[in-house]
A and B are shown apart, each in its own frame.
Chain A
Amino acid sequence: MTERINEPITTLVTFTEKGIKPLAFRWGKNKYQIKKVTLAHTERKGNGLVYYFSVCDDVNYFKLAFDTRNFSWRLLELSS
């Protein structure tokens, strides 16, 4: 069951020649290591751009969002 979260997170990312890739993030007191980015897509919001990353660790699926308007990361969805 997918749970809607929509809370701010602290994210560790890498910028490669292929683009931006989240590696790990902290949500509250929990730290999650990202094992795989399964899908990435973007959405234009006004003049800004939001990057969405569907990612997995060993047991969970997460949907993360990076908003270029304020350079903030959010955890949008979680499914375990």
Chain B
Amino acid sequence: MHIDMNSFFATCEQQAQPHLRGKPIGVSGDPRSRTIVSAASIEAKKFGVKTGMAIYEARKLCPDIQFIRCDPDKYWNISQRLVALYQSYTEAIEVFSIDECFIDITNLRRDGVNPVSTGIKIAQEIKQRIRKEIGAYISCSIGIAPNKLMAKLGSEMKKPDGLTIIYPNNTQPPETTEDAFSVTEALNRSELQDMCGIGRRTYKKLLLLNIQSFKDLHACSKLFLQTHFGKHQGTTLHAMARGIGSTHIGHIDDKTPPKSMGHAITLNKDTSDLLYCKAVILKLSLRVSKRMRNKKMQGRTVNLYIRFHDFSGAGGRVTINKKTNNGHTISYLAQDLLCEHTFAGKETLRKSIRLLSVTVSNLSPEDNQISLLETEENKTKAHTAMHEINKKFGDNTIEPLSTINLEDMPPDVNGFSKRNE
């Protein structure tokens, strides 16, 4: 079963603020600054407003749209409550994103009823409970299918508040008043780009090969697809056309250790001020450091990515011998990379910067090896104390002087996985 919350951020706001219900709204950053639409309400989507659109584009399409400032804590908290609600049925849950989950209902038979009928009952119950326990305006679309790929497609088929069942081709349709299609019927009713895994680029490439539907894709041989899309993607597309996908859903607590941790930020204004950029890098490094410390991890490679005002990019990486999770050390290394790629002398950069990103990779579990150098040891102690204070009293209770003037820096907006770190 795949559960997809409908226009999640926007409906959370409409739930909280009843005067916004039935109106086109967009959840965004500060509308006075450079920001995009993080989520559009169902009403705004009817005008063509989409996630990721610039504010001015959304206003052009829908002049009456109201922009509401993003409240990440609200969405994250509601997301957690939703996951807790699903957990009352099973622990076999895979959190796909802040507003999407896969639930394995294969073994949830009730009173000898087959799994599909049980799934339909549970889906209807979940919808009711969300309305009652979280908020009457919050709705979701649910897809029930033999695998994750088709379940996700099912939840896409009817929005908002849909429930779609996709059953295997060689079986009888379930007895239900809800929408039910066989795998082939569901594929034939869907557009190629509705399928998770067929992005903009793949879709364009498919069209160039005159593949316009799942029927066309089904007619292609595996060899043909592998020749044009590579071995891995070709095989995946061949399986997709037949509705074959993964059925594995792990346990809610299963977590693979992260390979890297990073933060990126689009600046409110393009800037070539070196000191400002250095301060932003320090702030990003401290955010990365906080997550690494919470996860008890350290890394050896620091990556910096810079996007310039003209959308060209530059970046680099540096690997050190001694692993670290010290925000200042990460910051010094990233700042050096910044100078290496953009320095033009006298505290200015050769090009205005639009976006900065700091990532630490080559991660491994933390070791508490004491440094033989007293100054290094003191720095580690100071950094640990700073981390503990912020952990106890809240973020930014204590921070370096150089980052204090970054109050206009957008808040840390994280996905579900980052929030858990």
Contact = CB atoms under 8 A, between A and B. Distances in A.
Is B truly associated with A?
yes
B77 A42 contact: yes
Interface string B364-407: 00000000000000000000000000111111010000000000
30 contacts: A36-B18, A38-B18, A39-B15, A39-B74, A41-B73, A41-B74, A41-B78, A42-B77, A43-B73, A43-B77, A45-B393, A45-B394, A45-B395, A46-B390, A46-B391, A46-B392, A46-B393, A46-B395, A47-B391, A47-B392, A47-B393, A48-B394, A54-B15, A54-B16, A56-B18, A61-B17, A61-B18, A63-B16, A79-B17, A79-B19
Contacts of B393: 45-47
Nearest to A53: B16
Contacts of A63: 16
B20 to A, nearest CB: 9
B10 interface: no
A56 B137 CA distance: 15
Interface of A: 2, 36, 38-39, 41-43, 45-48, 52, 54, 56, 61, 63, 79
Interface string B52-72: 000000000000000010000
Where chain A touches its partner, the secondary structure class is: strand
B68 A2 contact: yes
Interface of B: 12, 15-19, 68, 73-74, 77-78, 135, 390-395, 397
Most B C-beta atoms less than 10 A away, residue of A41, A46, A52: A41
B12 A39 contact: yes
B64 to A, nearest CB: 14
A41 B392 CA distance: 20
Contact of B135 (A38, A42, A47, A52): A38
A38 B16 contact: yes
Given A2-B17, A2-B68, A39 B73 contact: no
B177 to A, nearest CB: 31
B78 to A, nearest CB: 6
Contacts of B18: 36, 38, 56, 61
A61 B394 CA distance: 28
A45 to B, nearest CB: 4
A59 B357 CA distance: 44
B262 to A, nearest CB: 23
Contacts of A36: 18
A49 to B, nearest CB: 11
B17 A52 contact: no
A55 to B, nearest CB: 9
B5 to A, nearest CB: 14
A42 B74 CA distance: 7
Contacts of A47: 391-393
A42 B15 CA distance: 16
A51 to B, nearest CB: 10
A24 B68 CA distance: 26
A60 to B, nearest CB: 9
Contacts of A48: 394
Given A41-B73, A79-B19, 11 more contacts: A2-B17, A36-B18, A41-B74, A41-B78, A45-B395, A46-B391, A46-B397, A47-B391, A61-B19, A63-B16, A79-B17
